[in-house]
């Protein structure tokens, strides 16, 4: 399969070739969660994927506890529907344990601490009440007074299923990150199989065709080859342009590689750009090393081709477009038009606010390039 064919397959499965007329809850489920450490990111991501999406639809899911923000894939906060939060956690618990042990600075501060006892104490506190990270650490330090409170709190954040509760995560409101245990928030136990096979199939349906390395990049699961070997009889197998194996579900969409791809806007963190070992299928090679983070990106002809930022003042909202590749007149016009729709959606009914879309510098000068 060519890189362009993989691009169009990815866009189709991510509903970025054409917006879908389905509920937001169904889209979050289809995407197997949405990266959400920046609380408003899923709103922009859903706006680009859903016909007529309004922020209050996702706010309602969060307030009604039908969707939650919890640590899952790659140990990062993800927005997932409630039943996925309960089902995915056993599969990814090992990822979170490894992330704490090898990828965090907090493990070194807790050598000798009984982590099972710490998990039980942290969960008991969060079963009873909502706590900020600081308050959680102080409460845990009452039992482990010779240990760093911040490290105690972050150990619990890694190891205990917990939810960052509203108002943080709402579109027009925010608040200090505050936590409850996942089980107390949803009123259901975290239980089920830790077998990753179904999760991998869902990944392929939303991000495939993909390699074993891609699956590991998305999930941080280990021993992916063993998973693939179990699933292989039910999978389609392709080859990429370098001859590497790509795996796919039987009914995965494979549109014509020449299918036109409309301009689309993505938030700072969107799993479409974080879920493959080789990101050539989604990032224009001319943008590599230029994406600075803390700003959104946009797609031109299906590839990330620049950044955008919304500048807000009391009387004026400006959407700045910062392309990294030469644009045709039609592409510039399409970006301006789609950007205007995004700006209108983001600003809402504030009729007294001047709105404009313009080309300019959207980079954050204080951030180094990573893309």
| Residues 9, 10, 11, 14, Cα dihedral to 10° | 120
Give residue 360's pLDDT band: very low, low, confident or very high (50, 70, 90): confident
Per-residue confidence at 290, pLDDT binned at 50, 70, 90?
Answer: confident
Find the mean pLDDT for residues 129-155.
97
Q: With 70 as the cut, is the pLDDT of residue 152 above it? A: yes
In degrees to the nearest 10, what's the CA dihedral of 117, 120, 122, 125? -130
Q: How confident is the model at residue 371 (pLDDT cuts 50, 70, 90)?
A: very low
- Average pLDDT of span 204-209: 99
- pLDDT reading at 369 higher than 80: no
Which pTM does this prediction carry?
0.94
pLDDT band at 315 (very low <50, low <70, confident <90, very high): confident
pLDDT, tens digit, 9 for 90 and up, residues 53-81: 999 999 999 999 999 999 999 999 999 99
Q: Which residues of 97-136 are buried (b: 16+ CB within 10 A; e: fewer)?
A: eebbeeebebbebbeebebeebbebbbebbeeebbebebb
Q: Which two tokens stand for residue 203?
A: 């990944």
Domain boundaries, the chain: 33-186, 264-359
Mean of pLDDT values over 294-321: 90
């Amino acid at each position: 399969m060519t890189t362009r064919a993989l691009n169009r397959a990815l866009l189709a499965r991510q509903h970025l070739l054409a917006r879908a007329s389905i509920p937001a809850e169904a889209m979050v489920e289809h995407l197997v969660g949405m990266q959400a450490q920046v609380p408003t990111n899923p709103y922009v991501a859903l706006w680009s994927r859903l016909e007529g999406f309004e922020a209050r639809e996702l706010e309602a899911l969060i307030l009604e506890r039908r969707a939650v923000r919890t640590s899952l894939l790659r140990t990062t906060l993800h927005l997932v529907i409630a039943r996925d939060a309960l089902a995915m956690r056993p599969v990814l618990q090992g990822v979170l344990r490894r992330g704490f042990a090898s990828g965090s600075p907090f493990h070194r501060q807790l050598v000798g601490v009984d982590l099972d006892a710490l998990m039980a104490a942290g969960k008991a506190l969060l079963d009873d009440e909502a706590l900020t990270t600081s308050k959680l650490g102080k409460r845990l330090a009452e039992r482990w007074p010779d240990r760093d409170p911040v490290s105690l709190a972050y150990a619990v954040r890694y190891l205990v299923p917990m939810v960052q509760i509203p108002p943080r995560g709402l579109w027009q409101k925010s608040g200090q990150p505050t936590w409850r245990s996942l089980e107390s928030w949803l009123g259901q136990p975290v239980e089920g199989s830790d077998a990753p096979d179904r999760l991998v199939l869902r990944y392929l349906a939303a991000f495939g065709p993909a390699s074993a390395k891609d699956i590991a990049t998305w999930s941080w699961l280990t021993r992916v080859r063993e998973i693939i070997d179990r699933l292989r009889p039910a999978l389609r197998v392709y080859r990429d342009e370098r001859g590497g194996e790509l795996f796919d579900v039987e009914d995965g969409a494979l549109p014509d590689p020449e299918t036109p791809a409309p301009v689309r806007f993505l938030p700072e963190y969107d799993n479409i750009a974080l879920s493959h070992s080789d990101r050539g299928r989604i990032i224009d090679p001319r943008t590599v090393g230029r994406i600075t983070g803390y700003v959104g990106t946009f797609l031109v002809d299906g590839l990330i081709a620049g950044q955008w930022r919304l500048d807000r003042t009391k009387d004026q909202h400006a959407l700045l477009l910062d392309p990294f590749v030469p644009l045709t007149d039609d592409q510039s016009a399409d970006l301006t038009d789609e950007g205007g729709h995004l700006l209108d959606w983001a600003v809402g009914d504030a009729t007294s606010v001047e709105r404009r879309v313009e080309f300019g510098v959207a980079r954050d000068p204080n951030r180094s390039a990573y893309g």
